[in-house]
C-alpha cells in the first residue's frame, strides 16, 4: 500500500510556471519523519553530471511547493548556481499552536487560519521554512542511489547532487542549466506504505503531516490546523484536521471546507507472544462542514 495524494487544488503561486518547465501540479506523496527539529541528520552525497541527460526510469507525479522560478540569468533562491544547503524540512518549532481534532475547532478558528499562508502548519508538524521545487514521488526508496537511478520526472535534467535524511532521499537536478529541482522518495526503512519505523501514535501524526505537506503546501486556502489521537486496545486513530478552499469555474467561491483525515495504527499481531507489530492504514479526507466566508476578495 502506498500513500495517496490527498487531492489537487489551486496553486498558491503563478499557476504553473513550473508546469511548463516540469510535469504536473499535483501528485502523490510518500514520506516520513522523526520528531527532531530541522531536516534530521542530513547527509550529503556526491553529484553527477550524468552526461547531461538525467537517468532513465523517472516516476511521474509531483506534489511539492511551486515557488517563483529564478528570473533571467539563473538568479534567485532556486538557481542552480546558488548555494544549496539541502532539505530544510522537519517538525516546526515556531508558528501557530496545534488546535487539536476537528471537534475542538470553531468556524472562527477556520476563518482565522486558512488564509494565513505562513501559518499553514502548526508547531510540531512537518514544515519547510525555505523555498524549494520538490517532487514527492512513489514508491519508497531503499537508498539515495536508488532514488537517483529513477531519474527525474522531466527525463531531461542532469543529476548534480543528492541528500539523505532520516525520512527521505533527495536527488537534485538542474533544469535547463538554471533551475534547481528535487526528486524525493520516502525511505522504505522509515515508511514503506504500511510499516512505520518505531511506530507510535505521535510518529504517525508527524508522518501524516508530512504527507499533507507534500500535496497541499502550495495550495490556496490549505491549512493544517491540528491533530488528535484516540486509542483502543488494538488500534489508535490519528485525526488530522485541515482546511481547503472551494473553487468554482471562475475562481474562489465564498466557502471554505473543514476536513478530517483519520489514519489508523493497528496492532497486527494481537495476542501473540513477543513485541507488538503495527500496521499503518492511511485514510482519506472527509468534509466535516462548509463555512461561508464574509470576504471573497481574498481566498
299 lies in a domain? no
3 lies in a domain? no
12 lies in a domain? no
Low-confidence ranges of the chain (pLDDT < 50): 1-37, 46-73
Work out the number of other CB atoms within 10 angstroms of the CB of residue 80.
21
260 lies in a domain? yes
298 lies in a domain? no
Amino acid 274: pLDDT: 74
Buried b (16+ CB within 10 A) or exposed e, 267-291: beeeeeeeeeebbbebbebeeeeeb
By CB atoms closer than 10 A (0-12, 13-18, 19+), residue 236 is: buried
1 lies in a domain? no
State the pTM of this model.
0.78
Answer for the pair 42, 165: CB distance below 8 angstroms, yes or no. Answer: yes
168 lies in a domain? yes
Total of domains in the chain? 1
Domain that holds residue 139: 17-292
- Sequence-separated (6 or more) residues with CB below 8 Å from residue 291: 107, 110, 111, 255, 256, 257, 258
Distance CA 54, CA 269 (A): 44
257 lies in a domain? yes
Amino acid 49: pLDDT: 35
Amino acid 39: pLDDT: 54
Distance CA 91, CA 205 (A): 11
The alpha helices in the chain, defined as continuous H runs, are 17-21, 107-113, 144-149, 201-216
Q: Please provide residue 261's backbone torsions phi and psi, each rounded to the nearest 5 degrees.
A: -125, 120
User: Residue 281: in which H helix or E strand, if any?
Assistant: strand 278-281
Answer for the pair 152, 58: CB distance below 8 angstroms, yes or no. Answer: yes
Amino acid 178: pLDDT: 87
Amino acid at each position: 500500500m502506498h500513500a495517496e495524494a490527498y487531492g489537487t487544488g489551486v496553486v498558491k503561486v503563478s499557476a504553473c510556471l513550473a508546469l511548463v518547465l516540469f510535469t504536473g501540479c499535483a501528485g502523490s506523496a510518500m514520506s516520513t519523519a522523526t520528531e527532531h527539529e530541522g531536516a534530521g541528520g542530513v547527509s550529503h552525497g556526491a553529484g553527477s553530471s550524468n552526461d547531461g541527460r538525467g537517468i532513465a526510469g523517472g516516476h511521474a507525479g509531483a506534489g511539492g511547493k511551486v515557488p517563483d522560478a529564478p528570473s533571467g540569468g539563473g538568479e534567485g533562491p532556486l538557481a542552480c548556481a546558488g548555494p544549496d544547503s539541502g532539505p530544510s524540512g522537519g517538525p516546526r518549532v515556531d508558528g501557530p499552536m496545534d488546535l487539536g481534532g476537528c471537534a475542538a475547532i470553531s468556524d472562527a478558528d477556520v476563518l482565522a487560519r486558512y488564509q494565513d499562508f505562513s501559518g499553514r502548519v502548526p508547531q510540531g508538524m512537518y514544515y519547510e521554512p525555505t523555498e524549494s521545487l520538490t517532487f514527492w514521488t512513489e514508491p519508497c526508496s531503499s537508498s539515495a542511489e536508488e532514488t537517483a537511478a529513477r531519474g527525474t520526472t522531466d527525463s531531461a535534467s542532469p543529476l548534480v547532487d543528492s541528500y539523505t535524511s532520516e525520512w527521505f532521499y533527495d536527488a537534485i537536478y538542474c533544469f535547463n542549466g538554471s533551475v534547481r529541482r528535487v526528486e524525493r522518495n520516502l525511505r522504505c526503512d522509515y515508511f514503506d506504505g504500511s510499516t512505520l519505523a518505531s511506530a507510535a501514535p505521535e510518529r504517525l501524526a508527524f508522518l501524516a503531516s508530512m504527507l499533507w505537506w507534500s500535496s497541499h503546501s502550495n495550495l490556496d486556502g490549505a491549512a493544517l490546523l491540528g491533530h488528535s489521537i484516540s486509542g483502543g486496545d488494538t488500534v489508535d486513530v490519528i485525526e488530522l484536521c485541515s482546511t481547503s478552499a472551494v473553487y468554482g469555474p471562475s475562481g474562489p467561491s465564498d466557502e471554505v471546507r473543514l476536513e478530517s483525515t483519520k489514519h489508523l495504527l493497528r496492532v497486527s499481531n494481537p495476542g501473540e507472544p513477543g513485541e507488538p507489530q503495527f500496521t499503518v492504514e492511511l485514510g482519506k479526507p472527509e468534509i466535516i462542514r462548509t463555512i461561508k466566508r464574509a470576504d471573497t476578495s481574498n481566498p
